[in-house]
């Protein structure tokens, strides 16, 4: 389905750019929208427009748009995960949302295959119902499976790298390839993956006791609700933890809990979260980040590094 009601993309590159965009998304079965604001597609509820937003209907549809974008030399960006801030002028080219790739399949040996658009809460529930343990650490993470692989999402209980058996990817030229998890280098909130788009992931889990897993998830969700601002839009932790310390503790010690620019605010629950109180812009968030980094460095000498990923045009 193609939504052509909004067409201001023509003004960001002329008729030739528009023609290439239309060729790149021609014939897709999934939803195609031109010049659509991305705030509804990010956990922060912040973000300018995408030239084109594509929601592929399935992996074949994903292959098609990747191939056609390569042929037309149109850049693509894949939404996923929660640690993302889209700047106010949005993203040029094609933005892909994998929200329709939601299949989950149990395979022999306590393995689950999940397409990249499966939400982590959905996947955890699926695993628990089949008495498969290994994902309880992700309780409360709102991102997708694909995004969690790319960011090597994790909590104090575990990380994505602990369970990735293999990854299915669509290469930049539109070929489907599978990569053994042991060949992927995982780091702190990142994974060094081959170029392309994550289409699905095989997860190596283990037999477990359903009641015990349900209790672990329940306990950890309660802990997260008590210590993190889960009821307000955010992008998760903003800064990486320095060695042997906590970014949240450092920001709080600098007296910045509750600091605010526009509707962007340092959470009063957890100082490593910036929350959107309603109508925050990316500019508000970035101005607040610069203030935090400046004051923390002035008061403590610590240079905070961003965990948050910044994309798009300012």
pLDDT at 141: 87
**Of 67, 308, 287, residue with least CA distance to 196:** 67
pLDDT at 93: 97
pLDDT at 2: 57
What does the pLDDT average to over 125-138? Answer: 97
pLDDT at 82: 77
More confident residue, 10 or 52: 52
pTM tops 0.95: no
Structure confidence at residue 13 as a pLDDT band (50, 70, 90): low
Residue 238 clears pLDDT 50, i.e. is over it: yes
Query: Quick check: 204 and 217 in contact, CB under 8 A?
Result: no
Structure confidence at residue 12 as a pLDDT band (50, 70, 90): low
Q: What domains, with CATH codes, occur in the chain?
A: 2-96 (3.30.43.10), 104-212 (3.30.465.10), 230-311 (3.90.78.10)
Structure confidence at residue 213 as a pLDDT band (50, 70, 90): very high
The whole-angstrom separation of Cα 80 and Cα 58 is 16
Per-residue pLDDT tens over the stretch 87-100: 999 999 999 999 99
Segment 109-112 long-range contacts (CB within 8 Å, at least 24 positions apart): 109/204, 110/204, 110/205, 110/206, 110/207, 111/165, 111/202, 111/203, 111/204, 111/205, 112/202, 112/203, 112/205
Per-residue pLDDT tens over the stretch 266-279: 999 999 999 999 99
pLDDT at 9: 46
pLDDT at 142: 82
Query: Quick check: 143 and 228 in contact, CB under 8 A?
Result: no
What does the pLDDT average to over 250-278? Answer: 97
Residue 287 clears pLDDT 80, i.e. is over it: yes
């Amino acid at each position: 389905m193609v939504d052509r009601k909004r067409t201001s993309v023509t003004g960001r590159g002329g008729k030739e750019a528009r023609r290439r965009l239309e060729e790149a998304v021609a014939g897709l079965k999934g939803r195609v929208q031109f010049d659509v604001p991305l705030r509804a597609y990010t956990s922060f509820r912040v973000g300018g427009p995408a030239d084109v937003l594509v929601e592929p209907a399935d992996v074949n549809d994903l292959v098609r748009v990747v191939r056609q974008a390569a042929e037309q030399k149109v850049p693509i960006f894949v939404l996923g995960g929660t640690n993302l801030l889209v700047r106010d002028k949005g993203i040029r080219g094609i933005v892909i949302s994998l929200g329709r790739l939601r299949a989950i399949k149990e395979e022999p040996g306590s393995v689950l295959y999940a397409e990249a658009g499966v939400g982590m809460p959905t996947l955890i529930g699926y695993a628990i119902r089949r008495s498969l343990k290994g994902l309880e650490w992700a309780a409360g993470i709102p991102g997708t499976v694909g995004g969690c692989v790319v960011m090597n999402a994790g909590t104090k209980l575990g990380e994505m790298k602990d369970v990735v058996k293999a990854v299915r990817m669509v290469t930049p030229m539109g070929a489907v390839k599978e990569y053994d998890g042991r060949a992927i280098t995982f780091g702190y909130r990142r994974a060094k993956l081959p170029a392309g788009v994550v289409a699905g992931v095989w997860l190596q889990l283990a037999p477990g006791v359903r009641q015990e897993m349900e209790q672990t998830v329940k306990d950890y969700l309660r802990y997260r609700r008590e210590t993190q601002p889960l009821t307000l839009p955010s992008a998760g932790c903003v800064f990486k933890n320095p060695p042997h310390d906590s970014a949240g503790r450092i920001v709080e010690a600098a007296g910045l809990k509750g600091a605010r620019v526009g509707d962007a605010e340092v959470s009063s629950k957890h100082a490593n979260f910036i929350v959107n109180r309603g109508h925050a812009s990316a500019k508000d968030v970035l101005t607040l980040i610069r203030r935090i980094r400046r004051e923390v460095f002035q008061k403590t000498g610590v240079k905070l590094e961003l965990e948050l990923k910044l994309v798009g045009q300012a």
